[in-house]
Structure 1
Amino acid sequence: MRLWSRSRTLRRAAPLALVTAAVLVALPLAGPAAATPSDQPGGTSGVLDSEALDRLQQRAAEVQADLRQRQTEVAAAQQALADAQADVDAARAAVTAAEEELARHQDDVARYASAAYRDGGTLSPLSVLLSGGDPGDLAAALGYLDAVDDHAAAVVTAAERQRRTAVAEQATADAALAEAQQRTDALGAQVRDLEAAADAVTGELDAALSDVDRQLSDLQQQQLDVNRQTAANWRAYLDQLAAAGVAPPPAADLLDPAGALPPGLVPVGSAAGAAQRGAAQFPREPTSLLVLPAETVAAVTAAMDALGRPYAPGTAGPDSWDCGSLVSTVYGRAGVPLPADQAGLFAVTVPVDLADVLPGDLVFLGTPESGLGHVGIALDRDTMLAADARAGAVVVRRLPADEVLHVGRPSLGTRPEVPAPGPSDGALRVECGNTVYPPSSVEGRSWGGYPNGLIPPSALCPLGVGGHSLRCDAAAAYRAMSGAFAAQFGEPICITDSYRTYAGQVRLYGEKPALAAVPGTSNHGWGLAVDLCGGIQTFGTAQYAWMVANAGRFGWLHPTWADPGNGREEPWHWEYAGS
């Protein structure tokens, strides 16, 4: 941040809007000083433009795409193998049934022969002739014998034919099973080759990730220094106001600078030469003090208190923020109600010229292609405070003048709503400074701008259990939930898995290619999922029931796909959805 000064001779003065120009003279800006943000655009987010991260992203996407294709083929091959096995089982059952049928008929024939022997020997044409007797009886006996033999032969022949048909069908099924097994084995070999390639890539990814993590750690330290110095400068500004006996007036008292201002205050000039609405100055020597509305002072002070808190989309403090909710909350607490999203804020804030920007003004960033993409609180013409998605935190960052779409002053009330510019020509939407990729995109970078499973350790927060870590807001919510669980059961939540690196996802995929998520797609890789134990891993236990009843209070949920009866029952798997 920079000082407001009457001349540029204070170019190296301490940053922050502390002094102003003479009456109705536009406020030139002094140069950067100790608390100036990093030269990287967006402070810590500048690491996202590094070649190391680009290589990281490209290699991860290549392996992920190959594995995704193979996973589909493996699933289809395994289904075909299961179907072939079912056919073989059915054919084997048919052969068994046919053999049993044949055996029954053979038993009947044997019993007939046994009975004939028991009643006087085996019947045959010779034995009938030798027995003598009436010629009519002889003819009848021979006819009966032929009929019995013909029937026995027909029955046995039919049963044998049925058995041979079943055996042939079994042979066909066995051949199909062998072919399906061969296909599955071949795909298994391909998957193993891809896993080997993935293992080889993970070494490269780990090296690139270490490079990115070093950059991030250095920038984070710089950012902490910037944040601390900026907050100190703001406190010094408030101390100067108090020392001068100036109490920031309500916004309503500064709406008509040309007509009436509180005693002792004079207007602030605009770039166009007129008096600015919504601000004043307290004349003194050698420099004048900028006087902002009480609501603006309270909002900026509250925003300073949020510095360093994690960025998380859809959250509204106190542990994490997105860009719109931060602005809306700090102004709302100061008595200025505003929408909670960047588009809504754009729609209603009264515009001022960028050349006239003052601390507390809202600055909206974007491009003609992507439309509106960010909102933050101006600290001077070159610096803004924002919950920045690319930095992953509430930070003080540079204000890129060439990306400013709109500057709005909340203390001036609201205007009739104006639609915020959106993406054009197929461009992707940008939210809080980060491109929002569609869920199906393998190139997508989610929160913080990092690839799934390739988030630098410095961007995560520990859970205090082993080496487990999560996105910082999820980690804070988990710790609170674990504390509540411990109050009920006497011990904290038992955890087996949390953030899962890309390499870890590759290893798990190698063990369970048909069940595990394709590397680079798991919520574990975003630091937003945990696997739990200690009773929670079993449906119906008291611990699981407690989670069902209470996890939602902390922003955690059990995904529908893992519920009982949905095909992939995983009572142990829980995901953070935000508060």
Structure 2
Amino acid sequence: MPARSWAHPSGRARRRVAVAALAACVLVLLPGGPAAAAPSDQPGGTSGVLESPDLDRLQRRAAEVQDELRARQAEVVAAREALAGAQRAVGEAQAVLDAAQGVLAGYQREVADYAAAVYRDGGALTPLTLLLSGGDPGEVLSGLGFLDVVDAHAARVIGVAEGHRRAALDEQARAQAALDQARTRADEVGARVAELEAAAEAVTAELGDALAVVDGQLAQLQREQLAVNEQTAASWRAYVDQLRAAGLAEVPASALRDPGLALPDRLVPVGAGGGGAQRGVAQLPGRPTSLLVLPVETLAAVGGAMEALGQPYAPGTAGPDSWDCGSLVQAVYGRTGVSLPGTQGELFARTAPVAPADVLPGDLVFLGSPESGLGHVGIALDPRTMLTADARAGAVVVRTLPGDQVLGIGRPVLGQRSPAAVPEPTAGALRTECGNTVYPPSYDGGRAWGGYPNGLIPPSAMCPLGVGGHSLRCDAAAAYRAMAAAYAADFGRPLCITDSYRTYAGQVKLYGEKPALAAVPGTSNHGWGLAVDLCGGVQSFGTPQYAWMVANAGRFGFLHPTWADPGNGREEPWHWEYAGS
């Protein structure tokens, strides 16, 4: 199979021929039969939802169940709160009754003690004993009056205590009735929720079957992506071999920057689309095609980028195991002595621009839109193909270059320009980084990606964390592994994890166990493959481990959502979410 070549329509050109008559060279895709793979319109072919009518139909059924469960969620919470309140009221009423009975019993003991004392001292003190033993009539009358007062007071005290006891009994009866009513309501709501849970479970198996079909399709798409990567790398090596055979694989950029004055022997300029000659490139005339001659720095940078194909994307990382789009560009050119900044914005601001029509291999392609501003940077391989660390693909891939999203082209070997304004988001749009949306730390909504339903992401689109069976979306997984390595370096032990990606079936099961606490199935952030629950000290506010996460997680794209912070209703120190892309 012939390799890609840089073609020119005429081999008769000479260095002094008017460069305006020379057409820009184009890197031609490898020809091939039906089995030949081509770059996907979706980056890497791993993040665009696949057409699956069965999955769409079943997801609609699952969504209906989700809507009913969500509608019932408030009833579940209200019923459980009412039940808990009734149980508290019964407890409080019992405490009041116990106290009233204690007071009554105390008074009764005092009366009994008095009676016992009289008995020990020679019998009860009554009006008759006073008359028989009395002396002076005045003393007898005084004694009889004293007895009346004592009896009246005792009766009054015991009567009040008895009244309190009876009131407490009535309150206890009312509280018990309210408790019985709350239990009945909770049972009714629970029965309805159980019906909905059964409905969710009924579609879970069918969803799993449909998902298996989609996963097989995705796995095939990934195999095709691997073929694209391998074919592209092979074509690049073949092109470099052609330059070596011609003795032109070591031409420095400095020798090609001013084609109007002089070029190395045998070389002629490459025409620019707007007239004149392109800087930083030349060609060797020949038949049937001319050979494009790129600087040795560009050859080395593109070759280095080819070696990174398939490695994970992770924001804020700069190799060797994972990359973001800006750091990959910076690293591969930095190894050749071409110093570049490391972010997509700084690269756009400082890289020398060329006209989009003049794009050549090794040029930087800046993508975006008027609304979201600059959102991506990659390395052009030809006018239709680019190599990049792509956030949506979660890896370094060869992908289709979307011409309608090109905001600019830059040529690193031409040096840096004075900083230019970087296109920014407008009208409140969220910014994008390396091809995907960056959510603010206060964002509490679901982070859907790729079009897959929550909890129904094909396993082939996920990446392992290297701990048990835990997995996340591939860019989140790469970021987590980097964060876990930094944590282990500081604490001398691995970062502890209890939960990560949660399937739809897993959400249904958890909801059945904790309907008042768990998210409605199909709405959990765990179902997007972007959330983790941690342990080992992180699960408690105020620990050194939690403090480390607060100080460092952001470097790796993870955040602690505001709803889980102290004082915000649901305090979950263990819950962290990836928002790096």
State the TM-score, normalizing by the size of structure 1: 0.80
- Taking a change above 3 Å as real, the CA distance of residues 139 and 545 of structure 1, as seen in their structure-2 partners, is closer
Where do 1:333-348 residues align within 5 Å? Answer: 333-348=335-350
What CA distance in whole angstroms lies between the structure 2 residues aligned with 1:38 and 1:247?
27
Which residue of structure 2 lines up, in the alignment, with residue 113 of structure 1?
A: 115
Identity of aligned residues (%): 68
Which residue of structure 2 lines up, in the alignment, with residue 42 of structure 1?
A: 43
What CA distance in whole angstroms lies between the structure 1 residues aligned with 2:351 and 2:438?
25
What CA distance in whole angstroms lies between the structure 2 residues aligned with 1:567 and 1:429?
30
Contact kept? 2:438, 2:579, Cα under 8 Å: no
- Taking a change above 3 Å as real, the CA distance of residues 335 and 57 of structure 1, as seen in their structure-2 partners, is farther
Which residue of structure 2 lines up, in the alignment, with residue 93 of structure 1?
A: 95
Where do 1:146-157 residues align within 5 Å? Answer: 146-157=148-159
Contact kept? 2:269, 2:281, Cα under 8 Å: yes
What CA distance in whole angstroms lies between the structure 2 residues aligned with 1:372 and 1:534?
40
What CA distance in whole angstroms lies between the structure 1 residues aligned with 2:98 and 2:46?
70
- Taking a change above 3 Å as real, the CA distance of residues 416 and 486 of structure 1, as seen in their structure-2 partners, is closer
What CA distance in whole angstroms lies between the structure 2 residues aligned with 1:2 and 1:57?
45
Where do 1:389-468 residues align within 5 Å? Answer: 389-425=391-427, 427-436=429-438, 444-446=446-448, 450-462=452-464, 467-468=469-470
Which residue of structure 1 lines up, in the alignment, with residue 353 of structure 2?
A: 351
Q: Which amino acid aligns with 1:337?
A: S
Which residue of structure 1 lines up, in the alignment, with residue 288 of structure 2?
A: 286
- Taking a change above 3 Å as real, the CA distance of residues 401 and 72 of structure 1, as seen in their structure-2 partners, is same
Q: Which amino acid aligns with 1:416?
A: S
- Taking a change above 3 Å as real, the CA distance of residues 458 and 333 of structure 1, as seen in their structure-2 partners, is same
Question: Is 1:27–2:25 an aligned residue pair?
Answer: yes
| Counterpart pick for 1:242 among 222, 241, 244 | 244
User: SS in structure 1 opposite 2:194?
Assistant: helix
User: SS in structure 1 opposite 2:334?
Assistant: helix
Which residue of structure 2 lines up, in the alignment, with residue 307 of structure 1?
A: 309
| Counterpart pick for 1:226 among 228, 234, 254 | 228
Compute the displacement of 1:39 (Å).
Answer: 5.4
What CA distance in whole angstroms lies between the structure 2 residues aligned with 1:503 and 1:8?
60
Compute the displacement of 1:258 (Å).
Answer: 0.8
* Unpaired segments ≥5 residues, structure 2: 11-18
Which residue of structure 2 lines up, in the alignment, with residue 259 of structure 1?
A: 261
Contact kept? 2:538, 2:546, Cα under 8 Å: yes
Q: Which amino acid aligns with 1:306?
A: A
What CA distance in whole angstroms lies between the structure 2 residues aligned with 1:350 and 1:51?
45
Contact kept? 2:93, 2:171, Cα under 8 Å: yes
User: SS in structure 2 opposite 1:215?
Assistant: helix
What CA distance in whole angstroms lies between the structure 1 residues aligned with 2:311 and 2:211?
23
Contact kept? 2:374, 2:422, Cα under 8 Å: yes
What CA distance in whole angstroms lies between the structure 1 residues aligned with 2:3 and 2:49?
26
What CA distance in whole angstroms lies between the structure 2 residues aligned with 1:3 and 1:281?
15
Q: Which amino acid aligns with 1:336?
A: V
- Taking a change above 3 Å as real, the CA distance of residues 435 and 551 of structure 1, as seen in their structure-2 partners, is closer
What CA distance in whole angstroms lies between the structure 2 residues aligned with 1:109 and 1:429?
83
| Counterpart pick for 1:386 among 385, 388, 410 | 388
What CA distance in whole angstroms lies between the structure 2 residues aligned with 1:62 and 1:361?
49
More off after superposition, 299-308 vs 265-274: 265-274
- Taking a change above 3 Å as real, the CA distance of residues 431 and 51 of structure 1, as seen in their structure-2 partners, is farther
Compute the displacement of 1:567 (Å).
Answer: 10
User: RMSD across aligned C-alpha pairs, in angstroms?
Assistant: 4.8
Contact kept? 2:37, 2:225, Cα under 8 Å: no
**Alpha-carbon displacement from aligned partner over 1:213-234 (angstroms, at most 9, x marks no partner):** 1221111111111110100000
User: SS in structure 2 opposite 1:48?
Assistant: coil
Q: Which amino acid aligns with 1:26?
A: A
Compute the displacement of 1:377 (Å).
Answer: 1.2
Which residue of structure 1 lines up, in the alignment, with residue 16 of structure 2?
A: none
**Alpha-carbon displacement from aligned partner over 1:237-265 (angstroms, at most 9, x marks no partner):** 11111111113433233221111223332
More off after superposition, 375-384 vs 133-142: 133-142
Number of equivalent positions? 567
- Taking a change above 3 Å as real, the CA distance of residues 78 and 572 of structure 1, as seen in their structure-2 partners, is same
Which residue of structure 2 lines up, in the alignment, with residue 13 of structure 1?
A: none
Q: Which amino acid aligns with 2:403?
A: A
User: SS in structure 2 opposite 1:375?
Assistant: strand
**Alpha-carbon displacement from aligned partner over 1:115-165 (angstroms, at most 9, x marks no partner):** 444445444445545667543233222212111111111111221222233
Q: Which amino acid aligns with 1:159?
A: A
What CA distance in whole angstroms lies between the structure 1 residues aligned with 2:443 and 2:310?
30
- Taking a change above 3 Å as real, the CA distance of residues 280 and 345 of structure 1, as seen in their structure-2 partners, is same
Where do 1:144-183 residues align within 5 Å? Answer: 144-183=146-185
Contact kept? 1:328, 1:338, Cα under 8 Å: yes
Compute the displacement of 1:345 (Å).
Answer: 2.5
Q: Which amino acid aligns with 1:50?
A: E
What CA distance in whole angstroms lies between the structure 1 residues aligned with 2:278 and 2:369?
28
Which residue of structure 2 lines up, in the alignment, with residue 297 of structure 1?
A: 299
**Alpha-carbon displacement from aligned partner over 1:376-432 (angstroms, at most 9, x marks no partner):** 211111111122233332211112222222222222223333333344445554433
**Alpha-carbon displacement from aligned partner over 1:28-54 (angstroms, at most 9, x marks no partner):** 564662466245443514742635576
**Alpha-carbon displacement from aligned partner over 1:424-482 (angstroms, at most 9, x marks no partner):** 44555443333456788898445666454322111223467765544456667888999
Question: Is 1:214–2:216 an aligned residue pair?
Answer: yes
- Taking a change above 3 Å as real, the CA distance of residues 77 and 397 of structure 1, as seen in their structure-2 partners, is same
**Alpha-carbon displacement from aligned partner over 1:313-351 (angstroms, at most 9, x marks no partner):** 333322222323322322233333333333332233332
**Alpha-carbon displacement from aligned partner over 1:466-511 (angstroms, at most 9, x marks no partner):** 6554445666788899999999xx9999987553322112212321
User: SS in structure 1 opposite 2:315?
Assistant: coil
